[in-house]
Copies of this chain bind each other. A is one copy, B any other.
Amino acid sequence: MNTICLPKSKLPRIVIIGSGFAGFSFIKAVNHKLFQIVLIDQNNFHQFQPLLYQVATCGIEPDSIVFPVRKMFEKYENFHFRLATVTKIDSLKNILHTDIGTISYDYLIIATGSCNNFFGLQNVEKYAIGMKTIQEALDIRSFILQNLETADATCVSKVRKSLLHFVIVGGGPTGVEMAGALAEFKNYIIPKDYPELDLNEIKISLIESGDRLLKAMPENLSKKSLKYLQDMGVEIHLNTTVADYKDDVITTKKGDEFICKTLIWTAGVKGNVIDGLPDSVIGRGARILVDEDFKVKHTTNIFAIGDIAAQINERTPFGHPQVAPAAIQQGKWLGKNFQNIIKNQKVKPFEYYDKGSMSTIGRKRAVAQINNKQYSGYIAWLLWSVVHLISISGFKNKIMVGLDWVSSYFTYEKSNRFIIRKFHQQNKVK
């Protein structure tokens, strides 16, 4: 296999795999004059995952929540991006194998994030759509619209009902936000766009295996989010675990059945592990076990940060939460302390600062917990909007998303209802 072409440099080379929140924050924080920095990702952009559900429900343009990697670091002298998929880590030779060739590293930062966890349910993996990438969000957008179109053209009631039943599995923030946005789509868009469809035939169900939604939040807010969703017409099934999904039928462990063409899976994630690391460093949920400096256990020059990493100690027996703020803080911390760490100098230990969490549920309603204070309703929704708008990369993206929001606030519109690439359930792209 050939070597990926890179300019010669006398500087030690750091290779970062993954242009997500962790990888980006690391590159921004590390002293980029002292290293040759090579970022590898299979996409040429960074995506703002918290708003994927709005792309999936036609609320915003896909282009406005992604940001070009090369533009982000165009001022960096020793920065190089390579569009590639890493297939194997050879930690003995300090070499990565990718689909476009090999690359050697002095230091490796694994920031590959997490992907959908289907918990071994093969049929679900085959036919459900996850919501971890912009491609999946666009697949969901297409599939919802395709099924509405097909339903509108079919006179067979049984077929139509299956096409008009949208099931979301997973009552975490993604599932709750998706259910809320989809309910809005049903309530405001479908009556105008599909006047021939009977609104009573259109069903949105949210299935959660636990006994409440948003289990990372206080119970009080879980209850509120449940009520908000029910008010909007979402059917919620708690204590319900999916067992299989075949021929458009979800069966649950209890034996219930849900007939539906669309199954959106937000029920869990697992680490996006790359071949080559010993099994002994892979922990629960396929996360890579790291020490206090985010160095991968038993290695000297390989680090892992973000969703993929599990830093386990007394304070964090399960690792830090797999959320954007944790990834950002880890990337920043490792970047800032990188020189000291590689010189084996003592550094102030990483401490995760939990800013709290928030979830929006349709227009004007959200729940939030910030610094142990709880917010709900309109205020929480305003907070949510401001925080997310600030966090999106790029001034133009902020403007575009802001405009979309203001416009849909007043018009109740979700105007990006386009099937540009059809989604074929039988032929799902991973």
Contact = CB atoms under 8 A, between A and B. Distances in A.
Given A4-B153, A74-B193, A84-B153, A415 B396 contact: yes
Given A44-B418, A44-B419, A149-B44, A154 B5 contact: yes
Interface stretch (A64-72, A111-119, A176-184, A233-241): A64-72
A192 interface: yes
Number of copies: 2
A318 interface: no
For the side of the interface on A, what is the size category? 35 or more
A83 interface: yes
Nearest to A145: B44
A416 interface: yes
A153 B193 contact: no
Contact of A83 (B4, B64, B146): B146
Contacts of A71: 192-193, 415, 417
Interface stretch (A87-95, A214-222, A370-378, A399-407): A399-407
B153 A416 contact: no
Contacts of A61: 61-64, 400
A343 to B, nearest CB: 30
A13 to B, nearest CB: 15
A138 interface: yes
Contacts of A350: none
Interface string A192-205: 11101000000000
Nearest to A74: B192
A317 interface: no
A417 B68 contact: yes
Nearest to A82: B153
A7 interface: yes
A394 B419 contact: no
A254 interface: no
Contacts of A194: 70
A123 to B, nearest CB: 25
A180 B323 CA distance: 43
17 contacts: A44-B418, A44-B419, A61-B64, A62-B63, A63-B418, A66-B420, A68-B418, A71-B193, A71-B415, A82-B149, A83-B419, A100-B150, A138-B420, A394-B415, A396-B403, A396-B413, A403-B403
Closest 5 CB pairs of A and B: A5-B155, A83-B149, A70-B193, A61-B63, A74-B192
Interface of A: 3-5, 7, 43-45, 61-64, 66, 68, 70-71, 74, 80-84, 100-101, 134-135, 138, 145-146, 149-150, 152-155, 192-194, 196, 394, 396, 399-400, 403, 407, 413, 415-421
